[in-house]
Structure 1
Amino acid sequence: MVSVLVLFGTGEGQTAKVADRITATFTDRGHDVTTVDVEEISDDIELDAFDAILVGSSIHIGKHHPAVAEFVGTNRDELNVLPTAFFQVSLSSAVDDPDRRAEAARYADELLEDSGWHPDKIGMFGGALRYSKYGFLKRLMLKRIARDATGDVDTSRDYEYTDWDEVDAFTADFAAFVEGRLTDDVGAS
C-alpha cells in the first residue's frame, strides 16, 4: 500500500473534482490517500510521511492558484526527492487549438521553472466555466475569454470540459510509476 497526498488549489471547484477523481483511482488500487485543499493545509502534515505527492492547480487569468505556487516553491526540496506529479486545470487545455494548448504548457513550465520543482508526471486537463458562481464582472470577462476559446457564451448555464478518461489515464500512469518505483526500492534494500 502506498501513502499518497493529493494537494490542490481550486477557484470554483473543478480542480477539487479532478483531485477527488484522482483520489478515487488511488483508493481503488488499494492505496491510502489524503486529499487536502491547499487553503486548508495544516502545519501537522509532513510531506516525508507520504510515499508520493500529487499537486494540482487551477488557472485563472493566466495564473496558478497563489497558494499552490507558494507551496511548491517552499517545499521544492521535499517534492524533488519523492515521486510527484503535477496537474493543471484550465480552459486553455479544453480545446484542440495548438496555440491554446501551448499556452497551457507555458503556464506549467513557468510554475515549475520559478519553483525549481521537477515532477515526474504532468497532466493538463480542461476545466469548466462556472458562470453560475461568477459575479457580474468575472462573468463578463470569462464570457469574453470563452468566446475565443470555446464559444460557450450562454451565461445561463455552466460548462464542464474535463476529459475524465484523460484524468483516469494520467492517474493510472502515475500510480503504476509509483508502485514500480517503490517495488524497485524495496527490492534494492
Structure 2
Amino acid sequence: MRVLIVYGSTEGHTRDLCHYAARALGEAGYPTAVEPAGPDASEPDPGPYDAVILAASLHIGRYQAPLVAYARAQHEVLNAKPAVFISVSLSAAGFNPHDWEGCEDCLAKFQHETEWTPALVHHAAGAIRYSQYDFFKRLALKFIAAQRGQPTVTSRNYDLTNYDALRQFVTTFAFGVSQAR
C-alpha cells in the first residue's frame, strides 16, 4: 500500500511534520511520498496511491492557498479514496474552547471551499519559530503566546507538536486502509 502526503507550509514546520509522518509510515511498512502543493493544482497526482494525507497550517484563519487549490482540484479523487487531513495550528496546543471553535470554523470553511470531506482530521500543535519572524510578528506572537500560557522567550524556537499522537494518527490510518483492502 502506497501513501501520498501533500502539504502546504509557511515557515516549514508542517513540511517537517509531513516528513516525520512519512518516516513513521515507512518504518511501519508503508512506502510514502511527500510533496508540496505547488502552483499547478493537478500535481502531485494522487491517482497511483492507495491513500492520501493532506496537511496544512493555519495562519490568520486560513490554510495555505496552494494546498486549498490542490484539495479543490483533487476533491473527487480525495472523496473517492481514503484521505485524511492534518491541520497544524498553535491553537491545537492549548485548551481554550474559543481557540478550538476557531479551528473547527476554519476546517469547515476549508471543507466548503474544497468540496472535500476528509475521512479523519488530526489537529497537530504547531511551532513558534521566533527566529524566523520580523520584529512585529515576533511581538504579536509573544503576546498571543503569553495569553495562552505558551513560551515567550524570543531568543528560542518552540516545537509544540505531540509527535507520538501524530505517529499514532498516521499509522492507525494506514493500517486501517491496508486492512480494508
TM-score (norm: length of structure 2):
0.92
Correspondence 1:21-100 to 2 at 5 A: 21-39=20-38, 45-100=44-99
Supply the distance in 2 between the matched residues of 1:108 and 1:155 (Cα, whole angstroms). Answer: 30
Supply the distance in 2 between the matched residues of 1:57 and 1:13 (Cα, whole angstroms). Answer: 10
Deviation at 1:145, TM superposition (A): 2.0
Pair 1:9–1:34, CA change in 2 (3 A): same
Correspondence 1:1-189 to 2 at 5 A: 2-39=1-38, 45-182=44-181
Q: CA RMSD in A?
A: 1.8
Which amino acid is 1:75 matched to? Q
Assess if the C-alpha contact under 8 Å between 2:30 and 2:174 holds in 1: no
Pair 1:97–1:43, CA change in 2 (3 A): closer
Assess if the C-alpha contact under 8 Å between 1:6 and 1:33 holds in 2: yes
> Which runs of 5 or more residues in structure 1 are unaligned?
183-189
Which amino acid is 1:37 matched to? P
| Helix, strand or coil at the partner of 1:48 | coil
Pair 1:13–1:98, CA change in 2 (3 A): same
Supply the distance in 2 between the matched residues of 1:88 and 1:109 (Cα, whole angstroms). Answer: 12
Which amino acid is 2:168 matched to? A
Assess if the C-alpha contact under 8 Å between 1:91 and 1:149 holds in 2: no
Deviation at 1:119, TM superposition (A): 1.2
The number of residues matched between the two structures is 181
Pair 1:39–1:139, CA change in 2 (3 A): farther
Supply the distance in 2 between the matched residues of 1:25 and 1:40 (Cα, whole angstroms). Answer: 28
> Which runs of 5 or more residues in structure 2 are unaligned?
none
Supply the distance in 2 between the matched residues of 1:153 and 1:84 (Cα, whole angstroms). Answer: 36
The runs of at least 4 consecutive aligned structure 1 residues that moved more than 6 Å come to none
Query: Percent identity over the alignment?
Result: 27
Per-residue displacement from partner, 1:117-161 (whole Å, max 9, x unpaired)? 011111001101000011122212222222222342221111111
TM-score (norm: length of structure 1):
0.88
Which amino acid is 2:144 matched to? I
Deviation at 1:103, TM superposition (A): 1.8
Assess if the C-alpha contact under 8 Å between 2:88 and 2:126 holds in 1: yes
